[in-house]
Amino acid sequence: MVLYFHSQGYSPASVGVILALNSVIPLLFAMPAGGFIDRIGTRKAVLIGSLLCTASGLLYVLGGAKGMLPFFLLGQFMNGVGALLCWGALQASAAIQANQWRALGKGDHILSNFAFVNSLAQLSGPVLGGIVSDKDGYVSVFMIYILLCLLALGNALLFPATAKSGGRAGEGAGAKPADLRFWNSYASGFSLMKSNRPFFIAMVLNGILFVLVDLRGTFLPVYFSTGGLSNTEVGGLLSISGLAAVMIRPFVGSLLKHIGHRWLIFICIVSGGVCLMGLSFYPPFWFMAVIIFLWGICTGVNQPIALIMVANTVRQQEQGMGMSIRTMANRGVQVVNPVVMGGLSGIFGLAVGFGIVGAVMLLAALTYIYRKNGSFSVDL
């Protein structure tokens, strides 16, 4: 998507605004979606979400074939809603399963494995997209996306129908979920963040780390493209990041036992900031590959540690809402981050913009680790 719009002559700021559209809906409606998932069950939520993502792929194909922006904008809207339902349901189910195995010491490993499977797509996606777009054009990439959405739709039929997050802990299968009226869901979500301080801090840290994930998918391809690299070369570099994520995620549970949440988060934020600052100096290709590999490790740790923090700080009956709020925090970053980076790139250039964001991340990491008596000292 990023390379397509860049090839059509859109500025980095315009690309950021277009891609932010599918993040606005989850940002606004993540809390009601959490209640909706509790009510209809995770299998139905994944089915509906997969259908919406498939429809968005059809709109991408029409937009690419006709060169019409409105098709892409509508596709981004539908993709945002579909991904919100799918992702919220899958995360809630994974957290519930992890909590059931926590007594045996396997809860964190289950969530790490859940994130590991996701990283396989992050590894193969950029390579496939780069090769196909160079050989057959962007419309072929969008058609492959439709096929993948249909595959997800078929797999959703195999999803356990009983995997629901509604109901109180300790209640039977027939327990009714909490009040799921639209406006009350916002009150429940904000009450959770206000009353559960460790959960709130977990969301702040998740947002800081997610900046790295969002930049990798939006402005990093543009940075590579302006350096004269082909789409295949760009896809190869991004897949180095995906490879690093695949390698690190199975070990996140063990790292947490030996290092702890506090220091693992600190190391990832500092490393990510250093990577961003390194790109501002236009390093040679080989050193750029090293930076991208380290960047991939940081983004690989982000998802499992965020899932683990939510699962550990939120009660069983609030997992659906907790995971939806995590999605909302991520989408908030996806809305704000492109606007900030677009502004910085317009004033200072994209490379310098990376350096500025990296410096801010270093400052955030130092604040987090040294404010022992402040709000960032909560033991997660």
pLDDT at 61: 87
Count how many Cα atoms sit within 13 Å of the Cα of residue 167 in the half-sphere of its side chain: 15
162 near 49, Cβ under 8 Å?
Answer: no
Residue 341 DSSP SS3? helix
Residue 181 confidence (pLDDT): 59
Token readout for 319 is 């997992």
Please state, in angstroms and as integers, the Cα–Cα distance from residue 64 to each residue in 17, 70, 337, following that order. 18, 11, 26
The Cα–Cα gap between 99 and 165 comes to 12
pLDDT of residue 50: 92
Note the pLDDT of residue 164. 52
What does each C-alpha distance from 250 to 125, 150, 216 come to in angstroms? 20, 28, 21
From CA 93, how far away is CA 163, in angstroms rounded? 6
Residues 6 or more apart in contact with residue 187 via CB below 8 angstroms? none
CB 86 within 8 A of CB 323: no
Structure confidence at residue 375 (pLDDT):
43
DSSP assignment of 152-188 equals HHHHHTTS-TT----S-TT--TTPPPPP--HHHHHHH
Predicted pLDDT at 90: 84
Q: Residue 209: what residue type?
A: L
Matching residue, tokens 């964001």: 357
CATH class of 2-158+193-377: mainly alpha
> Which alpha helices (DSSP H) does the chain contain, by range?
2-7, 12-19, 21-40, 42-66, 69-101, 107-136, 138-156, 182-195, 197-217, 219-226, 231-248, 252-258, 261-279, 285-313, 319-348, 350-370
The CA distance from 102 to 91, in Å, is: 16
Distance, CA of 258 to CA of 271 (rounded, Å)? 19
pLDDT at residue 356, rounded to an integer: 92
- What is the DSSP secondary-structure string of 46-107? HHHHHHHHHHHHHHHHHHHHHT-HHHHHHHHHHHHHHHHHHHHHHHHHHHHHHHHHGGGT-H
- pLDDT tens, position by position, for the chain (380 residues)? 777 777 777 777 777 777 766 667 777 888 888 778 777 877 888 899 999 999 998 998 888 777 777 888 888 888 888 888 888 888 887 887 777 776 666 667 777 788 788 777 767 777 788 888 888 888 888 899 899 999 988 888 887 765 454 443 333 334 344 444 566 778 778 888 888 888 888 888 888 888 888 888 778 888 887 777 777 778 778 778 878 878 888 888 788 778 887 888 899 999 999 999 998 888 887 888 899 899 889 888 888 888 888 878 887 667 777 888 888 888 788 778 878 888 888 888 888 889 999 999 999 888 887 764 444 444 44
Dihedral through CA 247, CA 250, CA 252, CA 254, nearest 10?
A: -120
Q: What is the reported pLDDT for 316?
A: 66
Cβ(151)–Cβ(53) below 8 Å: no
- Structure tokens, 288: 């750029």
